[in-house]
Amino acid sequence: GAVVSQHPSWVICKSGTSVKIECRSLDFQATTMFWYRQFPKQSLMLMATSNEGSKATYEQGVEKDKFLINHASLTLSTLTVTSAHPEDSSFYICSALDNQETQYFGPGTRLLVL
Amino acid sequence: SQQGEEDPQALSIQEGENATMNCSYKTSINNLQWYRQNSGRGLVHLILIRSNEREKHSGRLRVTLDTSKKSSSLLITASRAADTASYFCATDSNTGKLIFGQGTTLQVKP
């Protein structure tokens, strides 16, 4: 099946710093990628839709200035958590949509903000 | 906001038994998908069933969809210890976005 990678797999940072997470589709082109957040023992919550060549679409309650998304190419989307705080600590997962309606998920990035 | 509910929230069975998980959703859908997530890992796509389909099989997996009741079930037959994971249903309302259910945590005891 299709492969999606994320980098880094985990990151620890100090409060107030910014963290960039990369999501890459390795063997297919994805005009649309999605970013999710998952808190412990909870389900995935969609944060935003990343569209190549245009601005991301954010879900209600997600601050676009806090979570910057850049879909730089057909195989790369980045999520930057700006001025991270402890409450931003979570598991961030991206997915890439192929042309068969299937979303392929990355392995996730665990963020811990101290 | 979450689309719907899954039940049970947790399920513990012996190896070899069948496991059934249910998912309900609220709005009309284009398709419904089931995913598996091992602890602390990403999601693995299991099966997609379209709104005009009623049943689908893939190996030991059987998925049903009842659009009149807005519900779906996932049956894993002859379970194995390696099936231990969380299982999520997710619905696509033809927007490409997936809305996930709360998930069922399955434990298969050897």
By CA distance, what is A107's nearest residue in B? B42
> For residue B97, what pLDDT is reported?
86
- Average pLDDT of B33-54? 92
More confident residue, B5 or A28: A28
pLDDT tens digit at each of 114 positions of chain A: 679 999 999 999 999 999 999 999 998 999 899 999 999 888 999 999 998 888 899 999 999 999 999 998 999 999 999 999 999 999 999 999 887 777 899 999 999 999
By CA distance, what is B47's nearest residue in A? A102
Q: Where are the beta strands (DSSP E) in chain B?
A: 5-7, 10-14, 19-24, 31-37, 43-50, 55-58, 61-66, 71-76, 85-92, 98-100, 104-109
- Average pLDDT of B72-79? 97
> For residue B4, what pLDDT is reported?
65
Percent of chain B with pLDDT strictly greater than 90? 77
Q: In this structure, are residues B104 and B10 in contact, taking their beta carbons and an 8 Å threshold?
A: yes
- Does B94 contact A at CB distance below 8 Å? no
The whole-angstrom distance between A105's CA and the closest CA on chain B is 6
Q: How far apart are CA B81 and CA B84, in angstroms?
A: 6
State phi, psi for A60 to the nearest 5 degrees.
-60, 135
- Residue contact B88–A106, C-beta within 8 A: no
- Of the pLDDT bands very low, low, confident and very high (cuts 50, 70, 90), residue B103 is very high
- Of the pLDDT bands very low, low, confident and very high (cuts 50, 70, 90), residue B86 is very high
The whole-angstrom distance between A21's CA and the closest CA on chain B is 15
- Residue contact A97–B96, C-beta within 8 A: yes
> For residue A1, what pLDDT is reported?
65
More confident residue, B27 or B58: B58
Q: In this structure, are residues A77 and A5 in contact, taking their beta carbons and an 8 Å threshold?
A: no
> For residue B1, what pLDDT is reported?
41
> Which of A46, A104, A107 shows the shortest C-beta gap to B99?
A46
By CA distance, what is A99's nearest residue in B? B96
